[in-house]
Amino acid sequence: MKNFKIPARFTAYFTFVFTNVIIFSLLRLVFYVIYKPSDIVFNSSILRAFITGLRFDLRIAFLFALPLGIVLLLPARKWLRKITTYFYTLAFALLTLAYATDFGYYAYLTQRLDAYIIELASNTITSVEMVWQSYPVIKIALAFAIVLLVFYFLFNKLLKWTYSKPACKKQYWFAALALLITAAFVHGKVSQYPLRWSDAYFTNNSFISALSLNPLQNLYDTYKFAKKGFNFDTEKTREHYDIVADYLGVKNKNADTLNFERTILQSKNGAKQYNVVIILTESLSYDKTSFNDPELRTTPELVKLAQKGRLFTHFFTPTAGTARGVFVSITGLPDTSTVKTSSRNPLIVSQHTLINDLKGYQKFYFIGGSTSWGNIRGLLQYNIDGIKIFEEGAYKDVERNDVWGLSDLDMFRYAAKELTAQKEPFFAFLQTSGFHRPYTIPDDKGSFEERELDEDFLKSYGFSGNAEYNSMRFQDYAMGEFFRLIEKEPFYKDTIFFIYGDHGLTVHQSKNLPRAMLDLELTTNNTPLIVFGPGIKPSVDKKPASQVDITATMAGLLGIEYRETALGRNLFDDKIERGAFILNSNSAPLKIGFIEGDFYYTLWPGKEGLFKYSGNETGKDHCKEQGEKCQRMRALAQGLYETARYITFHH
């Protein structure tokens, strides 16, 4: 131990890192002091914001220092020291400029520095004049120059001191250690998922969330969305306003302000404080269920539940993808993002949701994995008042099953126990994830028994094999176990249940669906919806329905007054003409469509037209014989797409 020495280069690297962390932390404290609203007092949320912010700062500081770490591994050279000093002085200048802009940006727009500044800066002359007239530019420039001179002097001194020390023989072992430490802090979390911007949105208080963010991280996170445009077109929305507003039932139409708001009054029978449970199941593709062919026996529990209420056989998700399914379920808006998913876009984290109209309710979200996945944590915590999230790490004494976290059975068991303990009305969103590759059946599988069927038989229903087949069966079994645990509890009879899939699956053959559904590629969107609870009579509904309608239907069944600002409508309202908007945002060009009655209008080069989707007729375009219907459905397909894009950024 007497000969143990920490290399000077190792010391220099971490000195540089933690000096920057101290600077970033002081700037965060200054931000808090300057912009703290008068009604904000220091509490646990503020403390958590500082801690979350510190983790972002550590990431940025280590990334900022990484080039220096590489340089310090190289032999000492005077020219290298000069180049490194000049490089870091310039980099520090840009960093300082970013922080200064962030302070001014927040004072101007009440939001941290983000990629929207690109749009503001596009009008250069106006932006420069605004800055010149609003701020003491000369004084700021002088202070800026002094800061850079101080940085240049101190950084150069740090390198001189470092290079004056002899190189350590074991410095590469220290370099490996430094690399591991750097990787750990850049990852930012002790979990499968890294630290993400959504971790800053643990509360719906905008200032506390802003305090948590690092401006450089936020600029990066928003840039990848902004570089492809801000994803809405006001004029195109206005062009289709009338037909969309009529379809949605807007009474106070105003094309100038693009008003889509509808106020739904309380039911004449009064509002009911029923509990609400939404179960979003992974990949519950209608063609793979037992509804059309009992021989398949994939979802016997689902069939039993459908007999308790209303089964919607022509229920469609607007888009494919689990994160997209969560987004539309919460907001009532299709996920129109062409860059990953809307839940991952910090520019649109703030959304209106009818879940907040459930006054006096406890609110829960259960998922076996992590809400860092898809950045849905920000969507949930920032927009749903007081929501309590149960995710991987929050379940006591329950082990992880595979990459997707807990098994569905463990998640359902835990949810049943938690909901049974509630004394007040509650809203609970339960999300399964087990029916997903690698199709892991857990060791603790209750009384579930796997089946082995002929591979050709399974392929005729679109299954890849027995692993997928049994995984879907286990998801169904786990859900059945949930209902067996709660059906004798007092809250059960006062609860409205929604069960549906996040999306369907693409298949090329299935004995469970008409040929037209396959040819029109609607299997990706078609999933059953089951709604049952107090006052809902058993029935089968074959009219089109959409995932955008979930929360509006929930509010309608509760009879509460609510303000709908998205595209949702009450599926139990017999006065509306039902339809379903379809979007494939991953195709190029975009594939959009609209379903109404027995017809599906699809607007996609090479396959545009009006088709019957519910039979075995394929390829026949009915636009010529049904010209008026064709034009109307085309306008609704385009109009709902533009409207959804617009509302997403104004919600």
What does the mean pLDDT of the chain come to?
Answer: 92
Q: Is the pLDDT of residue 225 over 60?
A: yes
How far is 427 from 276, CA to CA, in rounded Å? 5
Distance CA(241)–CA(189), nearest Å, equals 45
Nearby residues of 203 by Cβ (< 8 Å), 6 or more positions away: 45, 209, 381, 382
| Per-residue model confidence as pLDDT tens digits over 178-222 | 999 999 999 999 888 899 999 999 998 999 999 999 999 999 998
Q: Which of 92, 527, 46, 561 is nearest to 317 (CA)?
A: 527
SS3 255: coil
pLDDT, tens digit, 9 for 90 and up, residues 355-391 = 999 999 999 999 999 999 889 999 999 999 999 999 9
Q: Which of 34-38, 72-76, 497-501 has the highest mean pLDDT?
A: 497-501
Confidence of residue 431 (pLDDT cuts 50, 70, 90): very high
Q: Where are the alpha helices (DSSP H) in 431-489?
A: 455-459, 466-486
Write out the two tokens for 164: 């004056």
The secondary element (H helix, E strand) that includes residue 430 is strand 426-431
Which pLDDT band holds residue 1 (cuts at 50, 70, 90)? Answer: very low
- Are 330 and 547 in contact by the 8 Å Cβ rule? The answer is no
- Of the pLDDT bands very low, low, confident and very high (cuts 50, 70, 90), residue 117 is confident
CB neighbour list of residue 483: distance below 8 Å, 6 or more residues apart: 301, 305
pLDDT in tens, 151-188: 999 999 999 999 888 776 666 788 889 999 999 999 99
Q: What is the mean pLDDT of residues 331-335?
A: 97
Mean pLDDT of 43-68: 96
Per the CATH hierarchy, to which homologous superfamily does domain 271-572 belong?
A: Alkaline Phosphatase, subunit A (3.40.720.10)
Arithmetic mean of pLDDT, 400-425: 95
Q: What is the mean pLDDT of residues 289-299?
A: 89
DSSP 260-298: --EEEPPPTT-----EEEEEEETT--GGGSSSS-TTT-S
Is pLDDT of 8 > 50? yes
Percent residues over pLDDT 90 in the chain? 75
Averaged pLDDT for residues 286-311 = 93
Helix axes 322-331, 550-558, angle to 10 degrees: 40
Residues 6+ apart with CB under 8 A from 22: none
Q: How far apart are CA 579 and CA 133, in angstroms?
A: 53
Counting residues of the chain whose pLDDT is more than 70, the rounded percentage is 95
Delimit the domains of the chain by residue range: 8-221, 271-572
**Residue 124 pLDDT greater than 70, yes or no:** no
Integer Cα distance of 410 and 388 in angstroms: 18
At 120 the pLDDT is 62
Give the mean pLDDT of 622-645.
96
**Given pLDDT bands bounded at 50, 70 and 90, which one contains residue 525?**
very high
Backbone angles phi, psi at 285, to 5 degrees: -70, 130
Q: What was the pLDDT predicted at 170?
A: 66
Judged by DSSP in three states, 389 sits in strand
Distance (Å, whole) CA 581 – CA 561? 26
pLDDT mean over 275-285: 97
Stated pTM of the model: 0.88
